[in-house]
Amino acid sequence: MRAGSPRLLREINDRAAIDALLRDGPLTRSELEYAIGLSKPATAQLLARLEEEGVVVREGLRGGGRGPRAQLWAVNGSIANIAAVDLTPRGLDVVIADVSGATLAEYLHPQSARGTADEVVGGFRQAVVTACEMAGRTVEDLTHVIVGAPGAVNPRTGHLWLAPHMPAWEGFDMPGRLTDEIGVPVSIENDVNLVALEEMSAGIAVETRNFVMVWLDQGIGGAIVMDRKLVRGATGGAGEIDWMYVPDRAAADTGIPPTGTRFGDLVSSPSVVKLAKAHGIAARNGWTAVTRAVQLMASGQQQGEPFLTDLARRVATGVAGLVSVMDPELVLLCGKTGLAGGETLCRLISTELRSMVVPRTPVAFSALGVNAVRAGALHSALAVVREQVFGLTGHITEPSRRQVVSPADA
């Protein structure tokens, strides 16, 4: 055996133990022994060494059954801390967690996306500082921050674009400026990309290698995953399907010419409300209109089906090009409007797609709940920090920072 091999094997075993404790812990010694395949003495020595180094801690006792209760072991979460932020036109939703994944604090900071760059950047710092204080931490205790933002961040300049509803955040190196502001590395990722990452971690795309995600909400967005890697594009704009110009195949007249308009203008919440009104369904927003239509269909009334069929035609027209080129395993709907449509809207979109393209791609709706963007940012930040601290290769790699374009492995 070559010199240095025992040390290498020890490092490999340490990483395997830490990975098992992060994934399934807290664990007893015997449970960890089974998980990583070491002998009883080797596992005991490993735990003793990691405890001395402050990497693992004792976490109570396993109760139940006959005989003595067994000591539980867990990763020492205080080794590192992260922040995940969902940035919207209305404000910042911040969560602070330790490296074990335990949530330490959540904070919602109202803030307009208009005004000056100094105002929004200052508000960002205030939000992170307040969340850290709630968690009993300081900003200096953070190892990394990941922000989910609407639009795209150009990896060469750090500038946010394709986000006209976020004017105060445009025109400057966003990750660089935020990093300088709080003194902690900050990465920016498109919000829908983070939802796609979360779907691969904890949603219905856990075993899916290629899929298209369509975000139907107040605004419209998308994400493309190929071979379990996010496709970001040369300027960060891959998946920004709301800017595609497509024809309007809806039967109802809502003032949009059949030659079409932007996809985002066809299926955004205000446009869905207009389409619903043309079919005799009144609603304040797109998801309420879709919910009412689904309820009408479920009760045997036919009023909801023509509206949902028209909406499905619009969605399918925007997605057809991606499906034809990619031939993905799945089209996944998310966002409030997409989730409101559920299986009914998925079925209608699938029917429309089959009349337009060759691939018979199934359409499904996201299994994720609220805060999907923030959850995706949290998992991504944990993967980054766990690789930095423990050498673990996570299922999600770091979103691009300025002048760095590296696809996210899932």
Summarize pLDDT for 304-341 with one digit per residue, the tens: 999 999 999 999 999 999 999 999 999 999 999 999 99
The per-residue pLDDT for range 19-48, each reduced to its tens digit, is 999 999 899 999 999 999 999 999 999 999
The superfamily CATH assigns to domain 204-365 is ATPase, nucleotide binding domain (3.30.420.40)
Whether 196 and 213 have beta carbons less than 8 Å apart is answered as: yes
Q: What predicted TM-score, i.e. pTM, was given to this entire model?
A: 0.88
- DSSP per-residue letters across 173-190: -HHHHHHHHHTS-EEEEE
DSSP lists the bridge partners of residue 215 as 221, 334
The domain defined by 79-191 folds into Nucleotidyltransferase; domain 5 (3.30.420)
Q: CATH number for the 5-75 domain, one of 2.60.40.10, 3.40.640.10, 1.10.10.10, 3.40.630.30?
A: 1.10.10.10
Q: Identify the sign of the CA torsion 249, 253, 256, 259.
A: positive
> For 55-69, 120-134, 326-340, 387-401, which range has the lowest pLDDT when averaged over its residues?
387-401
β partners of residue 91: 88, 110
392 vs 307, higher pLDDT: 307
- State the SS3 of 239-303: CCHHHCEECCCCCCCCCCCCCCEEHHHHHCHHHHHHHHHHCCCCCCCHHHHHHHHHHHHHCCCCC
Pairing of strands 81-88, 91-98: antiparallel
- Delimit the CATH 3.30.420.40 region(s) of the chain: 79-191, 204-365
For the chain, where do the domains classified as CATH 1.10.10.10 start and end?
5-75
Residue pLDDT, tens place only, 69-125: 899 999 999 999 999 999 999 999 999 999 999 999 999 999 999 999 999 999 999
